[in-house]
Chains A and B, each alone.
Chain A
Amino acid sequence: MPTARSAGFAASLLTIGLTVVACSNGAGTDRAEEQDKSTASSTRPSDEVRNTSDVEPESSSTPSEPAADAVVIEVKQEGGTIEPLGDTVKADVGQQILLVVDSDASDELHVHSEPEKSFEVVAAQDQRFSFTIEAPGTYDVESHSLGVVVVKLQVS
């Protein structure tokens, strides 16, 4: 059927054109269009939390000033609920990630990286936990006592 054929051709040309445009744009902009992303990758070595091969609870570090381009995540735990509740946060490989926690109960925050990191939360305001992730991927930060995913870290 001639009409179907020409329609098919036109559609094919259109989609080929779209493909070319998408490829050239996509490669450049897939980083830029992401929202939560902090400023571009830091070259400054960030504070490494001690990495042990076993899970070791770590208490709040004295609030060393975060690097200017650290990713700051505010976590609020109150009355059995926690915020955020599964948001995605983007970070770079090796970029400092700072959890600022206000809580009214004790808890453990687990970062499911390799090795797994565990932070002990007490009932206090402004507790700070700093770490970096050295390999790309998506990592869950989970509240152990509530059994929920607090934040999904997309590290690339």
Chain B
Amino acid sequence: MTHSSTQLLAHGVGGRSDLPIPAGYAYAAAAAALVVSFAVLTLAWRSSKFSGNAGGRPLAAAAATVVDSRLIRVPLVVLAMTFAAWVSMAALFGPASLVNPTFGSVYALLWVGLVPAALLLGPIYRLCNPLRWLHRGACALARISPSAGVVPYPARLGMWPAASLLLAFVWLELVDPATATDLTSVTLWFAVLGAVLLLGAAVYGDTWFAAADPFEVYSTLVARLSPYGRTNKGTLVVRNPLDNLDGTAPSPGLVGVVSVLLGSTAFDSFRESSRWLRFSQQYPDDTMWLNTITLVGFCLAVLLTLTGASAMVAGIGHMRRRDMPNLFAHSIVPIVVGYVVAHYLSFFVSTGITTLQQLGDPLSLGWNLTPWAYELDKYAIYDHPTAIAVTKVVAIVVGHVLAVIAAHDRAIRHLPRTQALVGQLPLLVLMVAYTLTGLWLLFSS
């Protein structure tokens, strides 16, 4: 594999990264997480106070009209489609080297970027999803409604297709560095994804996108932490992000999606550690299998512990075990977002800037369509290790706090009063375990 002289090293290839967080920060954060967990358990409210999709203050009529209007939505969709087309052009006709903006666009701008986009703008991926628009176009030509399918989508499958495709994506991104930076593999992966999504939409209608498109499902889930939402009647409202999170539908497969997201971020952190490098690099011919097994292992560990803890809650409250994991999986979303911020922040900034520069010359013909991107210093973020370390730790702790509160509220809504406190303990312990693991990974990277 040849190295180019540019510094973009797509995730998976060795490069520059953050220092580990200092031990003191890790201990302080762990202590804060424990304090908050106990405080919420013993001092917080006793009856459920989140109102899910029913709550929120309606946006002023004028603002709502603007947001819902073509004036805003059309440019957003056009921007998204242009971006997708531009990157596709680079992927198909650009050079097969690290100067190709495809890698940065996929691994930084899309995969990491959709998190802040969702937090700030709500579920815009659903609006801008290029595949949805392709599907709509095809349906318009065939004179059928986009939501009509050949068969109705089996509701019990829920989000499991999305969970599987998310696992497929993180496999591409994380397991084999050669695959992650091989243009043909990335292009092929997205071609297959497009085919799967468009064919599925032809069979099931456009609900397939909400069940199977990994990026749409991820974005919509993170958007549950944004301050915007819609009531069940479709009114645009501003609401407390915790209320919004509470309204996440407990669909089957939610626990799978959350497990893949958390497990893969944890694995990404782990595989860069000296401990793992020392072990896995001894077996260069088996690196792919070692990494695959470990990635799947991390995701399964989250799935099993989350299911187990939820089942214990069910046992304490004498409820049906089968329903429980998806009832509580939404409370892991803040932990996922905290992990993502902590792990990907500097990567997103530095690789994002590099990618913006490269997008100005997608075919490596000497164009310079993004000169403004060269004014930005892509490595400036690394000159502030203390600020980065503080941000990481704060992100993890805030994620933990929101998660504990969300789980608390859900538990007291469903558990009988006498078991409300004890019933929460399995989940609380689990969340503390996730947070301590995240802090340990940041500390020992």
Give the A-binding residues of B (Cβ under 8 A): 1, 3, 5, 7, 9, 14-20, 22-28, 31-32, 34-35, 38-39, 41-43, 274, 276-278, 281-282, 284, 379, 382-383, 385, 421, 445
Bound together, the chains give a CA A32 to CA B16 distance in angstroms of 24
Complex partner residue of B379 from A8, A30, A114, CB under 8 angstroms: A114
B274 touching A30, Cβ below 8 Å: no
**With A8-B43, A19-B31: A30-B282 Cβ-Cβ less than 8 Å:** no
Contact status B31-A22, CB under 8 Å:
yes
Q: B-contacting residues of A (Cβ < 8 Å)? A: 1, 4-5, 7-9, 11-12, 15-16, 18-19, 22-23, 25-27, 29-30, 33, 53-55, 84-88, 110, 112-116, 135-140, 142, 144, 146-149, 152, 154-156
**Least CB distance, A34 to chain B, in whole angstroms:** 9
A87 touches B274 (CB 8 A): yes
How many Å lie between the Cα of A90 and that of B3 in the bound state? 26
Complex contact B282–A85 (CB within 8 A):
yes
CA distance A135 to B378 in the complex (A): 13
Minimum C-beta distance from A112 to chain B (A): 5
Interchain CB contact (< 8 A) of B23 among A33, A115, A144, A155: A33
Inter-subunit contact B35/A30 (CB<8 Å): no
Most chain B beta carbons < 10 A, residue from A23, A112, A142: A112
Contact A26 B16 (CB under 8 A): no
Return the 6 tightest CB-CB contacts between A and B, nearest first. A26-B24, A86-B277, A8-B42, A140-B14, A22-B27, A30-B22
Which listed residue, A12, A18, A84, A135, touches B382 by the CB 8 Å rule? A135
Contacts of A22 in B (CB 8 A): 24, 27-28, 31
- Residue ID in chain B nearest A118 by CB atoms: B3
State whether A112 and B35 are in contact (beta carbons under 8 Å apart), knowing that A26-B27, A27-B24 are contacts in the complex.
no
Interface centre among A29, A53, A85, A113 (most CB of B within 10 A): A85
Query: Closest approach, in angstroms, between the C-beta of A42 and any C-beta of chain B?
Result: 19
Residues of A within 8 Å of B421, CB to CB, are 1, 4
Chain A residues whose CB sits within 8 angstroms of the CB of B278 once the complex forms: 84-87
B contact residues around A142 at 8 Å (CB): 14
Q: How far is the CB of A41 from chain B (nearest CB, A)?
A: 15
A5, A85, A137: the one contacting B19 at CB < 8 Å is: A137
Instruction: Verify B35–A15 contact, CB threshold 8 A.
Output: yes
> Smallest distance from the beta carbon of B439 to chain A beta carbons, Å?
12
B317 to chain A, nearest CB (A): 16
Q: Quick check: A12 and B39 within 8 Å, CB to CB?
A: yes
Expressed in whole angstroms, the Cα–Cα distance for A11 and B425 within the complex equals: 14
Closest to A33 in B: B23
Query: Given the complex, which residues of B lie within 8 Å of A27, measured CB to CB?
Result: 22, 24
Q: Evaluate contact between B3 and A86: CB separation under 8 angstroms.
A: no
Interface contacts beyond A87-B278, A114-B7: sample of 18 additional A-B pairs, CB < 8 Å, sorted by A? A7-B42, A8-B43, A11-B34, A12-B38, A15-B32, A23-B28, A25-B24, A26-B25, A30-B22, A30-B24, A86-B277, A88-B274, A113-B16, A142-B14, A144-B3, A148-B284, A149-B277, A156-B385
- Given that A11-B38, A18-B27, A22-B31 are known contacts, is A112 also in contact with B382, CB under 8 Å in the complex? no
25 contacts between A and B (CB under 8 A): A4-B42, A8-B38, A12-B42, A15-B35, A19-B27, A19-B31, A19-B35, A23-B28, A26-B25, A27-B22, A29-B23, A85-B277, A87-B278, A112-B9, A112-B15, A112-B16, A113-B16, A116-B5, A136-B385, A137-B17, A138-B16, A142-B14, A147-B1, A152-B277, A154-B19
Chain A: CB-nearest residue to B420 = A1
CB proximity of B138 to chain A, nearest CB, Å: 43
Smallest Cβ-Cβ distance to B418: which chain A residue? A1
- Cβ-defined contact, A147 with B31, below 8 A: no
CB distance from A125 to the nearest CB of B (A): 23
Docked Cα-Cα span, A135 to B282, in Å, equals 30
- In the complex, which residue of chain A has the Cβ closest to the Cβ of B444? A88
Residues on B with C-beta less than 8 A from A1 are 421
> In the complex, which residue of chain B has the Cβ closest to the Cβ of A52?
B5
- The answer on a CB contact under 8 Å between B28 and A137 is no
**A26 and B19: CB pair below 8 A?**
no
Docked-complex contact A136 and B24, CB < 8 angstroms: no
Cα(A69)–Cα(B26), bound, Å: 30
Inside 8 A of A110's CB, which chain B residues have their CB? 3
CB-CB under 8 A from B14, the residues of chain A are 112, 140, 142, 149
B341 to chain A, nearest CB (A): 18
Q: How far is the CA of A47 from the CA of B201 in the complex (A)?
A: 62
Q: Which of A86, A114, A146, A149 has the most chain B CB atoms inside 10 A of its CB?
A: A86
Taken together as a complex, chains A and B put the C-alpha atoms of A76 and B24 apart, in Å, by 35
State A87–B22 Cα separation when bound (angstroms). 18
Give every chain A residue within 8 A of B34 (Cβ-Cβ). 11, 15
A8 nearest in chain B by CB position = B42
